[in-house]
Amino acid sequence: MTRYIFITGGVVSSLGKGIASAAMGALLQARGYKVRLRKLDPYLNVDPGTMSPRQHGEVYVTDDGAETDLDLGHYERFTGVSARQSDNITTGRIYQSIIEKERRGDFLGATIQVIPHVTDAIKDFVLSDPGENVDFVLCEIGGTVGDIEGLPFFEAIRQLGQELGPERACFIHLTLLPYIPAAGEMKTKPTQHSVKELRSIGIQPQILLCRCDRPIPETEKGKIASFCNVRPSSVIEARDVGHIYDVPAAYHAEGLDTEVLWHFRIDDAPLPDLTRWNEIADTIHNPDGEVCIGLVGKYTDVPDAYKSVSEALVHGGLANKVRVKVRMIDSEQFDDEHHPLDILDGVHGVLLPGGFGERGAHGKMRVARFARERALPCFGICYGMQLSVVEAARTLAGFKAASTTEFGPTDEPVVGLIEEWTKGNERITRDENTDKGGTMRLGAYPAILEEGSKVAEIYGTTEISERHRHRYEVNSGYIEEMEAAGVSFAGMSPDGLLPEIIELKDHPWFIGVQFHPELKSRPFEPHPLFASFIKAAKVQSRLV
């Protein structure tokens, strides 16, 4: 029997529902249960693929090619369960599906309304196949209770609570307990009002997960329990911790998983095995040293834009028992050729992440050249690889006009859309009416690695599968000249057409990949490329 846990949020946004959901899933896993996590997003976009990273953070891509909310990255990293397209839904996709059915006449002339048509579609999504023998499905509802766009989702889960009954449905509400320094008190009123708002739409939470920066006095827990109609033991302290990977153990210590199991009347569950989480925490808090990585991108003022990359760097540190300090560096400042690169002094490696557009691109190429000439470990991902190839084509292979057609017409399209590849000719004009949400290579694709290459040694195999998200490709028509200049194309698509990985032959560690390896990195299984990159940075720092 599959049970459903609904996680809602109140008071303010950015309380960490994604981390809380992922940690809850990890705790149930540690007790031997099989879990799946899903995210319901109330915004009208069909998916986050066309949304600015400044507004929404990174776009997380699944193996089956779905562009999803970044919280699905937390779910995967905490549980190791690969997300699917069916694990993230938006209001936009719900309405798109309903309107398509209405246009086909599937509703037989009925008047289409929020209730029951929209709420039924949401319920169908929640209950859709969770997978074989899944014990718990955890559903996070995006936004904050009281948001007008979230009302259909709250109504849908309210109905599900009634239909499934308490033996199969549990509501957890994440809220905030602010401390007011002037009053010297922790205030419970925001939580009381948030729960009142939730109850006004028919949802009584069974468990309150209270974010705070200090211990909650027992008197305050009692007040919250009384006014919010929950058991005192169901008021769970979610105090700030040193690192997100401390969260599962912290929540267990406060009794979160115990309360969930009590609600479902499960009294024979084994205690959670948190050994690996404790080992991770020990490595994070007691490392053998520290390395500094310069992450050079144009959204560095929005850390969530590079969430998976930052986490994968942490995982690489775990594999090498070092702390990774990530220095966020705005690539746009380096577009000015005269701007000094002295901010890179002291970094032990640079990472050039994915991205789009010309802004900040020249700066990334300057950093790639800096790393190449200084023998500094450099990791180019997606756009970072493409720009590294353009820079090498210009300065090593002699193609002074080398560029990417993403910038506009060029006589040397070293990077371009596949249909544009005509070496030495002007780019083919794209159809300006192209649907921007459907023109990418998305999801998992295989690649074949060259025998004896550095990446083949790192992976320990010559056949890999990695997740992609990009429109442009490195032009394989330039491979011969580039290899003669010292750029090795160490990984290709199985048909030999699409370059997947480059590495510099005479450099201690300079690798570029067309895919996004950060999407498959886990704290317990660091991605081999990130583990190797941090190892190279560790050597650069003279820790070894």
CA atoms of 536 and 456, how far apart (whole Å): 16
Report strand pairing: 3-9 vs 169-176: parallel
Q: What is the dihedral of CA 221, 227, 231, 233, to 10 degrees?
A: -10
CA distance 511 to 285: 29
Between strands 510-513 and 499-504, the pairing is antiparallel
Tokens of 163: 């239909």
CA triple 142-148-154, angle to 5 deg: 55
Q: Measuring CA to CA, how many Å separate 488 from each of 397, 491, 502?
A: 12, 9, 5
Q: Is 408 exposed, middle or buried (0-12, 13-18, 19+ CB in 10 A)?
A: exposed
Distance CA(337)–CA(26), nearest Å, equals 48
Handedness of CA 296, 297, 299, 302 (dihedral sign): negative
Q: In this structure, are residues 48 and 494 in contact, taking their beta carbons and an 8 Å threshold?
A: no
Is 518 catalytic? The answer is yes
- Alpha-carbon gap, residue 16 to 212, rounded angstroms: 12
Q: Are 197 and 148 in contact (CB under 8 A)?
A: no
Which residue in the list 117, 382, 406, 412 is annotated as catalytic? 382
For residue 108, how far is the Cα from the chain centroid? 41
- CA neighbor of 13 nearest in space, from 177, 138, 150, 142: 142
**Environment class of 296 (CB within 10 Å of its CB; exposed 0-12, middle 13-18, buried 19+):** buried
Q: Which residues form the catalytic set?
A: 382, 516, 518
